[in-house]
Amino acid sequence: MKKDDLVILNIDDMSTEGEGIGRVDGFAIFVKDAVKGDLVEAKVMKMKKQYGFARLMRVIEPSPLRVEPRCPHARRCGGCQLQAMSYAAQLGFKADKVWNNLQRIGGLTDLERPEIMGMEDPWRYRNKAQFPFGTDREGRIVTGFYAARSHTIIPCTECLIGVEENRPILEKIISHMEKYHIPAYDEQSGKGLLRHVLIRKGFATGELMVCLILNGRKFPAMEQLVVSLRELPGMTSISINVNTQNTNVIMGSETIPVWGQAYITDKIGDIRYQISPRSFYQVNPVQTEKLYRTALEFANLTGDETVWDLYCGIGTISLFLAQRAGQVYGVEVVPEAIADARRNAALNRIGNVEFFVGKAEEVLPEKYEREGIHADVIVVDPPRKGCDEAALQTMAKMQPERIVYVSCDSATLARDVKRLGELGYEVRKVKVCDMFPQGVAVEAVALLTKSGDISKTASGSLKS
Ligand code: SAH
């Protein structure tokens, strides 16, 4: 088999990145946009020693799991890798992905297939979007999304998993740039001004945030743009973020408020949250509530416990837990997020929380070893790379009754629960939450208790 060969493939599996997998002469061939159960014709693009990549040319016989993608850009877009799969099939794929990782990497061979919490309406769920800006061949300003595995911008202001307000906001910014001859940033030369536009919406409040990420500090005729953006109902916060570095990181460290509040407000359950442009906030508020309720259920609090919430962001989970705990401590590395977290505690009149700025793997050992602070329950919600070894070790040393691990990457979750297993903690329950319908990413929550301590769990989901 070589490049440009046409092959007929029976797609009998899916990769964790959502590609269909077919086999020829023992070679696994990865085909983007092919669905498990399809019979397809594909063109070989690249061959490695053991496997290859091919481009979907034609679906000969569609899989029963296949649906017509709703978005016309689904095939070129780098997001929504599963749009050609029915939503029910997407949920099955995700439950299996978490299950497989926990068995294969985590060594949890006795675990039953975890339950997955899906959405009733798996569209327009994202409260946040970051649109890259650029210039097309004709010299026109464009915005949209990056094509798969590239930084080529496909023009599109209408993303079906984003809010409807994205489109008028982007159109206003483009016409402003055309009127005042403002150049978009160019990654190659490092010249030009507008890099990205961040848009956030508070689903419970209707409040809108627009943040222009600039290769500079000033946007020409900003007052006129503000007047125009304010025509949109809900506009609450307009700001500029400065990023003059030649980097793939979208936002820089300095944010300059331009109009309105420096944050927007949203609500999850009974708790109100103020969110700054740079703070992490879960992108799917409907599913976030289910996720946090699961974390709270797994924490099984009675009202007296000391709880640590590591990687706490703006204190979302901390404040959720504080309603049922004695004392909650939150740890987060981004200072603005901790400022938000403290404001959010005050806003909700929650007094039994304290927040620390710093790395979990540094703050936790310090507080435990120097100040002897203990933990009845530890909740962690780390970024994709998972927890640092020092954090895991200290967690185990603190001997909490329960560890609740909220994870956005089941491969690192599996690695970390394996390590916690060596340190004396066993997984009792796992639930999966579909925070990202149409895409491959998936969120999971695991409950761990001390090994041998099975009486502590409400209902074990282990077979044994
Ligand atoms: N629990 C929060 C945030 C989870 S996202 C929520 O549900 O909204 C993970 C958070 O971890 C981010 O806010 C990120 O800034 C933070 N973070 C990343 N590395 C960290 C580290 N080493 N120590 C503490 N926080 C970290």
Ligand 1 close to Cβ of residue 417 (< 6 A): no
| Gap from CA of 117 to ligand 1 centroid (Å) | 23
Mean pLDDT of 46-60: 95
Query: How many CB atoms are located within 10 Å of the residue 75 CB?
Result: 15
Indicate if the pLDDT at residue 463 is higher than 80: no
CB 44 within 8 A of CB 54: yes
Indicate if the pLDDT at residue 458 is higher than 70: no
Phi and psi dihedrals of 16, rounded to 5? Answer: -65, -20
pLDDT of residue 454: 55
pLDDT of residue 26: 87
Per DSSP, what are the bridge partners of residue 52? 29, 47
Identity of residue 21: I
Helix or strand or coil: residue 179?
Answer: helix
Question: How far apart (Å, rounded) are the C-alpha atoms in residues 263 and 245?
Answer: 24
Residue ranges in 191-300 assigned as alpha helix (H): 222-229, 285-299
Q: Which atom of ligand 1 is nearest to the CA of 291?
A: 7
**pLDDT tens per residue, range 361-408:** 999 999 999 998 899 999 999 999 999 999 999 999 999 999 999 999
Q: Which atom of ligand 1 is nearest to the CA of 279?
A: 13
Question: How far apart (Å, rounded) are the C-alpha atoms in residues 217 and 195?
Answer: 12
| Gap from CA of 315 to ligand 1 centroid (Å) | 10
CA quadruple 252, 256, 262, 264: dihedral sign: negative
Query: How many CB atoms are located within 10 Å of the residue 15 CB?
Result: 16
Q: Which atom of ligand 1 is nearest to the CA of 281?
A: 8
E strand or H helix that includes residue 318: helix 316-322
Residue whose token pair is 């160019």: 186
Which tokens go with 305? 């416990």
Indicate if the pLDDT at residue 28 is higher than 90: yes
pLDDT of residue 174: 98
Task: Count how many Cα atoms sit within 13 Å of the Cα of residue 1 in the half-sphere of its side chain.
Answer: 23
Question: How far apart (Å, rounded) are the C-alpha atoms in residues 136 and 207?
Answer: 32
Indicate if the pLDDT at residue 412 is higher than 50: yes
- Higher-pLDDT residue of 50 and 184 is 184
Tallying the residues shown for the chain, one arrives at 464
**pLDDT tens per residue, range 285-332:** 999 999 999 999 999 999 999 999 999 999 999 999 999 999 999 999
Strands, E assignment, 32-118 = 39-47, 51-61, 115-117
* DSSP class per residue in 387-424: --HHHHHHHHHT--SEEEEEES-HHHHHHHHHHHHHTT
Q: What is the rounded average pLDDT for all residues in the chain?
A: 95
Indicate if the pLDDT at residue 340 is higher than 50: yes
**pLDDT tens per residue, range 40-49:** 999 999 999 9
**pLDDT tens per residue, range 73-111:** 988 888 899 999 999 999 999 999 999 999 999 999 999
Residue ranges in 132-239 assigned as alpha helix (H): 166-179, 222-229
Torsional class of 93: left (φ above 0), alpha (ψ -120 to 50), beta (otherwise): alpha
Question: How far apart (Å, rounded) are the C-alpha atoms in residues 292 and 309?
Answer: 12
Q: Answer yes or no: 408 catalytic.
A: yes
pLDDT of residue 453: 63
Query: Nearest residue CA, atom 16 of ligand 1?
Result: 311
Mean pLDDT of 428-456: 90
Query: Nearest residue CA, atom 3 of ligand 1?
Result: 313
Query: Nearest residue CA, atom 22 of ligand 1?
Result: 359
| Gap from CA of 289 to ligand 1 centroid (Å) | 18
Ligand 1 close to Cβ of residue 379 (< 6 A): no
| Gap from CA of 340 to ligand 1 centroid (Å) | 13
Indicate if the pLDDT at residue 18 is higher than 50: yes
Instruction: Give the confidence band of 464 by pLDDT, cuts at 50, 70, 90.
Output: very low
Lowest mean pLDDT among 76-80, 131-135, 244-248: 76-80
Indicate if the pLDDT at residue 68 is higher than 80: yes
Give percent of the chain above pLDDT 90. 91
Query: Nearest residue CA, atom 12 of ligand 1?
Result: 313
E strand or H helix that includes residue 262: none
Ligand 1 close to Cβ of residue 341 (< 6 A): no
Mean pLDDT of 150-175: 94
Lowest mean pLDDT among 162-171, 272-281, 450-459: 450-459
Which tokens go with 17? 């990145």
